[in-house]
Amino acid sequence: MPQELLIQVTPETAANESLLKDHVGKLLKVANSEIQHITILKRSIDARQKAIKINLKLTVYMQGDVFQEQQIQLPDYPNVANEQEVIVVGAGPAGLFAALQLIELGLKPIVVERGKDVRGRRRDLKAINRDHLVNKDSNYCFGEGGAGTYSDGKLYTRSKKRGDVTRILELLVAYGATPDILVDAHPHIGTNKLPQIIQDIRDKIIECGGQVLFETRVTDILVKQNEIQGIVTQTGQTITANKLILATGHSARDIYELLGRKKIFIEAKPFALGVRAEHPQSLIDSIQYSCDYRGELLPPAPYSIVKQVGGRGMYSFCMCPGGVIAPCATSPGEVVTNGWSPSKRDQVTANSGIVIELKLEDFKPYAKFGALAGLEFQKSIEQKAWHLAGESQKVPAQKMIDFTKSKVSSEIPKTSYVPGTTSVELGQVFPGFLTQILREGFTEFGKSMKGYLTNDAILHAPESRTSSPVRIPRDAITYEHLQIKGLYPCGEGAGYAGGIISAAIDGEKCALMIGAILNKK
């Protein structure tokens, strides 16, 4: 019978099949020739001691055991061209995986995406980086694949629904992702690899009879007697259906405003906000790995910090080893930062959002906006940052120690943020309570990670799109909106997910609920 082992080995052993077989043979007290195959099930790094180890979960197949290479294949999707239609608004992970699940259930998805296809988006990303021009429908947040496509492709989730997580990861592998994402503790695809995977998913939806409509922005949701009737697009086109999955992402402010105007119930939701900090990757490596040079066998080191400061959580968010900072505004007159890494994580800088938990009471100055109070709070900071940095896509920036001392940095070295930076005392960007917490928090971070608090680190402001500032409430069992029959708020934009995997899972759940209602097996 195959044996399952949990072992800890050196990076050299983990990276070399022959050395790994030698190690396992000694543990099991068998000759190497008796070992037919070793499958690595899970892999993680233990950097708590100076001698770094790799944790491995293995299945060992001896001679005589039945071993078959795992083949991950796509489901047997039916053709749904003539089946009942379901509108899916948004082609991010929630919308795309909802569409795939609908097809499995024998339903026809009509995916409506305000932005361009994954390739067409590139011209607009170039325009925002080079020319400081923001296309409100096509940018780092909007377009095929959603915000995750050009912002890293992290697949880590704290979801306890492990079966669902595995299903999503296996589907991604079937569509072209590296099988390593099934093994690594913190899987990651990379911004350079995701576009082709997203395109292949879209091609499959169309091949099976679904529709995908790009550059099609929803301007109205048709409701009669509290039941969904369809949508209207910016061209005046009406698309009818009595089931609508609303998966528009956390930055579709016009959708929240539309729901508010139509008296469709929404509510303010707390989120987190702060800055994006960039360090030399070599510095993070030296801190995390306790060495001057990490070598070729260890990946660029990530970090994760959580502190309680002033009664609030302050924590690292969307940390990008070997990555860069990107401009993620969705409208002219605002600046927003985010981070991403290519698949090799081979850039010389590391960055992370460093954000603070907000509370509903923080939005009181914007109470007149009702459920959109948090959104207006968020918007005010992005607009203030735009003004302070020179009314372009440059962002306010400050050296980290200078920030803790309320000192304007005399100069800002070039960072990975392509549109550029403007030296600003970041206390001007944020309300006083946030500024104070950030200043105290970075000092605390420096105590936990010796060397982290340094003027070699540059803070970019703001990191403000961590999650939706609005929740679209739904029934906990059916996932249907509490007020509107046939409306299924879904994913990050509705307040029910926080990343690619959790959004994809939520998309599938909404589709499954629709299938159950329509008695589809």
What's the token pair of residue 55? 């944790």
Q: For the stretch 460-484, what's the b/e string if a residue is b when 16 or more beta carbons lie within 10 angstroms of its beta carbon?
A: bbbbbbbbbbbbbbbeeeebbbeeb
Can you tell me whether residue 516 is helix, strand or coil? helix
Would you state the structure tokens that stand for residue 194, as one six-digit string?
């995701």
> Which of 107, 103, 90 has the alpha carbon at shortest distance from 198?
90
Q: Is 156 found in the same domain as 222?
A: yes
- Angstrom distance (rounded) from CA 45 to CA 294: 13
Specify whether 34 is located in the same domain as 133. no
pLDDT exceeds cutoff 60 at 162: no
Q: Does 224 share its domain with 163? A: yes
pLDDT-derived band at 455, boundaries 50, 70, 90: very high
Same domain as 346, residue 313: yes
The pair of three-digit structure tokens given for residue 477, joined into one six-digit string:
């069992």
- Cβ pair 354, 267 in contact under 8 A: no
Distance, in Å, from the CA atom of 500 to the CA atom of 93, rounded to the nearest integer, reads: 6
Q: How far apart are CA 161 and CA 156, in angstroms?
A: 13
Asked whether 100 and 91 are in contact (CB, 8 A), the reply is no
Q: Are residues 41 and 161 in the same domain?
A: no
pLDDT band at 19 (very low <50, low <70, confident <90, very high): very high
The CATH number of whichever domain residue 263 belongs to comes to 3.50.50.60
Q: For the domain that residue 11 is a member of, what is the CATH number?
A: 3.30.70.2700
Average pLDDT of the residues in 395-413 = 98
For range 398-412, the mean pLDDT: 98
Q: What is the pLDDT of residue 153?
A: 67
- Are residues 166 and 213 both part of a single domain? yes
172 within some domain: yes
| 456 and 477 assigned to the same domain | no
| 291 shares its domain with 331 | yes
- Answer yes or no: is pLDDT of 159 > 80: no
- How far is residue 173's CA from residue 85's CA, in Å, rounded to a whole number? 28
Give, in order, the Cα–Cα distances in Å from 418 to each of 128, 131, 335.
Answer: 9, 10, 13
Residue 515 · residue 102 · CB < 8 Å: yes
| Sign of the torsion formed by the C-alpha atoms of 189, 488, 220 and 380 | negative
Confidence of residue 154 (pLDDT cuts 50, 70, 90): confident
CA nearest to 77, candidates 200, 166, 178, 197:
200
Are residues 355 and 239 both part of a single domain?
A: no
pLDDT of residue 160: 53
Q: Alpha-carbon distance 353 to 339, whole Å? A: 8
Q: Which residues of 19-54 are buried (b: 16+ CB within 10 A; e: fewer)?
A: ebbebbbeeeeeeeeebeebebeeeebebeeeebbb
Number of structural domains the chain divides into:
3
* Residues 307 and 453 reside in one and the same domain: yes
Q: For residues 341 and 362, give the distance between their C-alpha atoms in angstroms, rounded to a whole number.
A: 32
Q: Indicate if 153 and 290 belong to the same structural domain.
A: no
Domain-embedded: residue 289: yes
pLDDT tens digits, one per residue of 346-400: 999 999 999 999 999 999 999 999 999 999 999 999 999 999 999 999 999 999 9
Query: Is 398 a member of any domain?
Result: yes
Instruction: Read off the amino acid at residue 309.
Output: V
Question: Which of 342, 352, 373, 369 shows the shortest CA–CA distance to 441?
Answer: 352
pLDDT at 149: 81
Say if strands 458-463 and 272-280 run parallel, antiparallel, or are unpaired.
Answer: antiparallel
Give me the pLDDT at residue 155, please: 83
Residue 520, pLDDT above cutoff 90: no
Question: What DSSP character marks residue 131?
Answer: I
Distance CA 521, CA 513 (A): 11
Asked if residue 74 is part of any domain, the answer here is no
pLDDT of residue 405: 98
CA 433: distance to chain centroid? 27
Prediction pTM value: 0.95
Q: Is residue 68 part of a domain?
A: no
Helix, strand, coil distribution of the chain in percent, nearest 5: 30, 25, 45
Q: Helix H segments across 180-314?
A: 194-207, 253-261, 281-289
Kindly state the average pLDDT of the residues 323-349: 94
Average pLDDT (49-77) is 93
Q: Which domain holds residue 144?
A: 85-268+468-517
Average pLDDT over residues 290-295: 87
Residue 388 covered by a domain: yes
Whether residue 77 is contained in a domain is answered as no
What is the radius of gyration, based on Cα positions, of the chain?
24
Task: Specify the higher pLDDT residue, 452 or 187.
Answer: 452
3-class SS string, 354-395: EEEECCHHHHHHHHHHHHHHHHHHHHHHHHHHHHHCCCCCCE
Tell the residue number behind the tokens 């940052």, with chain if given. Answer: 385
Over the stretch 166-213, which tens digit does the pLDDT of each residue have? 999 999 999 999 999 999 988 888 777 889 999 999 999 999 999 999
Q: What is the mean pLDDT of the chain?
A: 95
Would residue 471 be called left, alpha or beta, if left means φ above 0 and alpha means ψ between -120 and 50 degrees? beta
Tell me, yes or no, whether 166 lies in a domain.
Answer: yes
Residues 98 and 247 placed together within one structural domain of the fold = yes
Burial 249-277 (b: 16+ CB within 10 A, else e): bbbbbbbbeebbeeebebebbbbbbbbbb
Residue 356 CA to chain centroid, in angstroms?
18
The answer on pLDDT for 82 being more than 90 is: yes
